[in-house]
Amino acid sequence: MTPIIELAITDWKQQPPAPMQERAVEALEAGGVLLFPRLGFPTEGSEVRFFTSAVAAKSKNVSLDGAGGRVRGSSLEASAAAGLAAMMKRYAGCSRRLLLNLLPRYEAGLIQGRTSYRPVEIKGRAASWRHDDTRLHVDSFPSSPVQGRRILRVFSNVHPHGQGRTWRLGGLFESVAGRYVPYLSGPLWGSGWLLHLCGVTKSRRSAYDHLMLQLHDHMKADSQYQSGADQITYDFPAGSTWIVFTDRVPHAAIAGRYALEQTFYLPISCMQDESKSPLRILERLTARKLA
């Protein structure tokens, strides 16, 4: 099962001792979740106005582009929109500082992606099976190929009234991948570049991305896996933060609202043990080079 490792970090600028850094990177790369139960993201007084689902327009979350700083999915305008963007930018900075202090070996390759604010209640939200995040899955983004890079995400429950954010966590990636590899097909020759040239993807979709997208879909579509897989349910408390490689750990968010999330990408060359990456695991299972 996915282990949850609690670490006693209570400040975003805290410098952890070397033994904690070593424990953190080993647990994270092995498929664990790092939990900081008393590391809350401090919101400012004027930001109380953002604790309403009305902040989101028609989507489930509001996102901030890491490169251009553009906010998408919000119903806010003018100064209110700027205030929300400022809160999310502050969270992005705090998340990066936390990772660099706790996981210094990742600094050379860490790439900052989008920041998200999720004010809408998960439970009871209508969604197609493919977009239903209450189903166990590993992350793979159709329009944003990673070409083997890791997807590392920082989450914080900022619910002002103490509601937890409930997740389901599945078992080992190797077991899940082994279950579906016989049903995964390789991409058509040249399709990865063609999708990029046509503007469907932001970069070339590699064979790895192609297989990970299929794995994501097979997991979500398999009702037997969803109900019968080894899994635990965990409530991440309000005022807590957690870090996880979401491309390796099967996860599902099933209840909660008011969470912040920061996505990072990491080349596997920066890992302590790249053999534990989904890329290397899938290459072993398929006996093919995938990126």
Q: Is residue 93 part of a domain?
A: yes
CA–CA dist 255, 124 (Å, integer): 9
With H, G, I as helix, E, B as strand and everything else as coil, classify residue 284: helix
CATH number of the domain to which 279 belongs: 2.60.120
Q: Is residue 122 part of a domain?
A: yes
DSSP conformation class of 42: P
- Give the CB-side neighbour count of residue 162, counting CA atoms within 13 A: 0
Q: Is residue 220 part of a domain?
A: yes
CA–CA dist 140, 210 (Å, integer): 9
Q: Is residue 291 part of a domain?
A: no
Q: What share of the chain is helix, strand, coil (3-state, %, to 5)?
A: 35, 20, 45
Q: Contact 255/121 with Cβ under 8 angstroms?
A: yes
Element (H, E) at 33: strand 33-36
CA–CA dist 165, 179 (Å, integer): 29
Q: Is residue 34 part of a domain?
A: yes
With H, G, I as helix, E, B as strand and everything else as coil, classify residue 64: strand
Containing structural domain, residue 119: 4-286
Query: How many domains is the chain partitioned into structurally?
Result: 1
DSSP string, 158-193: --TT---EEEEE---HHHHHHHHGGG--PPPTTHHH
Per-residue pLDDT of the chain (291 residues; tens, 9 = 90+): 789 999 999 999 999 999 999 999 999 999 999 999 999 999 999 999 999 999 998 777 899 987 667 888 898 988 898 999 999 999 999 999 999 999 999 999 999 999 999 999 999 888 899 999 999 999 999 999 999 999 999 999 999 999 999 999 999 999 999 999 999 999 999 999 999 999 999 999 999 999 999 999 999 999 999 999 999 999 999 999 999 999 999 999 999 999 999 999 999 999 999 999 999 999 999 999 999
